[in-house]
Homo-oligomer: A and B are copies of this chain.
Amino acid sequence: RLAAWLDAGRANDQRNQQLHALVLRVLAAHGRPAQVAEVCAGLREVFGIPWVYLTESGIDIDAWSTLVHDWTTPGCGPVAESQQARLSELAGHAIGSVAWVPVALGETGYALLFLGSEDETRFPLGTGTHYLQQVGEMLQTLLAD
């Protein structure tokens, strides 16, 4: 049990280091579009997430409504068969598991960040999504104006 705690602590430290590296990339960028692009590029390159997709349009979000049940908190999980086609189309390759991060904008609007991997176990159901919430809050700040 102690070993599990230490492992969790190490994973947590690594996440925080990665988040810090992401923050530095965003701070180095000038202007909102470049900063938002750095969040996505940092998730790809620092966190090693193969597919990173940010949508501010309602059209694409509709396609996710069967996947995302709670629009206020991030979540993770393997991809259902019915969602495979649309996800693969967007990603350009098969997606085995995804994480999603809702980003509230204004009174009723929202953006949605999707992270995906071919690996079905990369974003397991019910994993800790604390860092995703922090990334979501960064995006919310950047997209607010």
Binding site for B on A (CB under 8 A): 2, 9, 16, 19-20, 23-24, 26-28, 35, 134, 137-138, 141-142, 144
Q: Pick the contact of A27 from B16, B20, B26, B28 — CB < 8 Å? A: B26
Q: Nearest Cβ distance between residue A106 and chain B, in whole angstroms?
A: 15
Give chain B residues whose Cβ lies under 8 Å from the Cβ of A9.
9
Q: Pick the contact of A28 from B19, B134, B141 — CB < 8 Å? A: B141
Nearest chain-B residue to A35 (Cβ)?
B27
The number of times this chain is found in the oligomer is 2
Nearest chain-B residue to A17 (Cβ)?
B134
Is the beta-carbon distance between B28 and A137 smaller than 8 angstroms?
Answer: no
Give chain B residues whose Cβ lies under 8 Å from the Cβ of A35.
27
Nearest chain-B residue to A16 (Cβ)?
B16
Is the beta-carbon distance between A20 and B134 smaller than 8 angstroms?
Answer: yes
- Give Cα A119–Cα B21 distance, bound, in whole angstroms: 33
Give chain B residues whose Cβ lies under 8 Å from the Cβ of A134.
20
